[in-house]
Amino acid sequence: MVLQTSLGQCSSTVTVLQPLRRTRKLVGRTDLSRPVATCEAATQQRHTAEDLFICDEESTFYSDVLARCFARSTGGESVIEFGTGDGSPVLNWLAKSTFSGTINGYELNPTAASVATQKAKDSNLDHVYQVHNSCFFAGIAATPANYLIANPPYIPAPDNDLLMPELHGGTDGSNLTRDLMSLGFENCVLLVSAYGNPVETIRHAQKQGYKITDYMVTKLPFGYYSSEPKVMDWLHKMKAEGKAFFADDGYLLAGIHLRKDEPLVDDSCTTSNTLIPSTAPHVANATRPNNHGFRNSFANHGDVRKGRLVSRSRPRVYSGPAARVSDMPDLADELLSVLTSPC
């Protein structure tokens, strides 16, 4: 399969509608040679595949999701990223973590790849985070990994004739996300939108042998590009079909950790990134705010409606040498109950 993009062709074994991925604002950005598309753009203009897209809230959330997923990193993880953007989400996480594995990020946008590469060097993290200005799908064989991380584009529309085509996630917003789930990685850390057909997307993950073992959810307002009339008309059509869930003032975005049935890395830990229902007797229900104001307990959906991040309290791990993902509950239904509820 050959992927045709505005940046050229890319060989792949999967069908991908939009391989290009959103890019993000450079923290402390210096002057860039290309324009930067912002969430608060004041006038309508079309952008090219080399423009940078800014959404600080989403970038911060992506960093938080990565921090949570790799909180108990053993140092041996090999990670591949689909779409680095300007590198801010990963680098902001790495700057505050003890992660010592390797991350190979792929970005087709030459401007974004250049910025991400320079930021990694400036942060002295280029030995951990290596950015490739090339096709992700071609790079899979060259840089094998047991973790796939990505914030794929998720704006749904009948086609990519949009103000910023790189944000198009396919006809239902999750076409590319499901393609990534089909690549067979042991672990996937992905962002999934409530207005991007989340039910079919999560069920697709289950069909690929994954369980959702951890998640975080936040509420975001509609941005400039998701508020484009063509997109909004399509979203309301999807909502009537039960494929999109949102409120007038925003939508929910989830960061999920998908795991295939593999043994846990460290069975001796007293805590784990794997979450289990709070009704289980061995789950601590303490509430602990962080600097973003979210709770580590999941008392009710009202926390989401107030715009807070929502996640499960961190439980004790299933102990014993045979502890496996298969021994743990799948949080898919619980997550879907959140994403499909009024926000």
Count other C-beta atoms under 10 Å from residue 325's C-beta: 21
Residue 65 in 3-state DSSP?
helix
What is the Cα–Cα distance from 200 to 95, expressed in whole angstroms? 35
Q: Lowest-confidence range among 91-100, 171-180, 210-219, 310-319? A: 310-319
Check residues 319 and 75 and name the one with the higher pLDDT: 75
22, 148 contact by CB (below 8 A): no
Structure tokens at 333: 């239904």
The answer to whether residue 171 scores a pLDDT higher than 70 is yes
Q: What percent of the chain has pLDDT over 90?
A: 61
Q: What local confidence, expressed as pLDDT, does residue 197 receive?
A: 98
pLDDT tier at 13, thresholds 50, 70, 90: very low
Check residues 40 and 68 and name the one with the higher pLDDT: 68
pLDDT tier at 334, thresholds 50, 70, 90: very high
Q: What local confidence, expressed as pLDDT, does residue 50 receive?
A: 56
H/E run at residue 178? helix 175-181
The 3-class SS string of 198-242 reads HHHHHHHHHHCCCEEEEEEEEEECCCCCCCCHHHHHHHHHHHHCC
Q: What local confidence, expressed as pLDDT, does residue 280 receive?
A: 26
86-140 residue pLDDT tens? 999 999 999 999 998 999 999 999 999 999 999 999 999 999 999 999 999 999 9
pLDDT tier at 145, thresholds 50, 70, 90: very high
Q: What local confidence, expressed as pLDDT, does residue 279 receive?
A: 29
The answer to whether residue 11 scores a pLDDT higher than 80 is no
Q: What local confidence, expressed as pLDDT, does residue 51 receive?
A: 67
Q: What local confidence, expressed as pLDDT, does residue 277 receive?
A: 29
The answer to whether residue 21 scores a pLDDT higher than 50 is no
Q: What local confidence, expressed as pLDDT, does residue 328 receive?
A: 77
Q: What local confidence, expressed as pLDDT, does residue 314 receive?
A: 35
The answer to whether residue 152 scores a pLDDT higher than 60 is yes
What is the Cα–Cα distance from 65 to 62, expressed in whole angstroms? 5
Q: Lowest-confidence range among 78-82, 179-183, 208-212, 264-268? A: 264-268
The answer to whether residue 251 scores a pLDDT higher than 90 is yes
Q: What percent of the chain has pLDDT over 70?
A: 66
What is the Cα–Cα distance from 295 to 9, expressed in whole angstroms? 44
The answer to whether residue 38 scores a pLDDT higher than 70 is no
Structure tokens at 321: 């040498």
Q: What local confidence, expressed as pLDDT, does residue 326 receive?
A: 74
Q: What local confidence, expressed as pLDDT, does residue 299 receive?
A: 30
H/E run at residue 187? strand 187-193
CATH number at residue 226: 3.40.50.150
Let me know if 55 is exposed, middle or buried by CB neighbors in 10 A (0-12, 13-18, 19+).
Answer: buried
39-55 residue pLDDT tens? 333 334 444 455 677 68
What is the Cα–Cα distance from 220 to 229, expressed in whole angstroms? 18
Q: What local confidence, expressed as pLDDT, does residue 317 receive?
A: 30
The answer to whether residue 312 scores a pLDDT higher than 60 is no
pLDDT tier at 262, thresholds 50, 70, 90: low
Q: What local confidence, expressed as pLDDT, does residue 76 receive?
A: 82
Please state the pTM of the whole predicted model. Answer: 0.74
Q: What is the mean pLDDT of residues 291-305?
A: 33
**Domain count within the chain:** 1
* 215: containing domain: 2-339
Q: What local confidence, expressed as pLDDT, does residue 321 receive?
A: 34
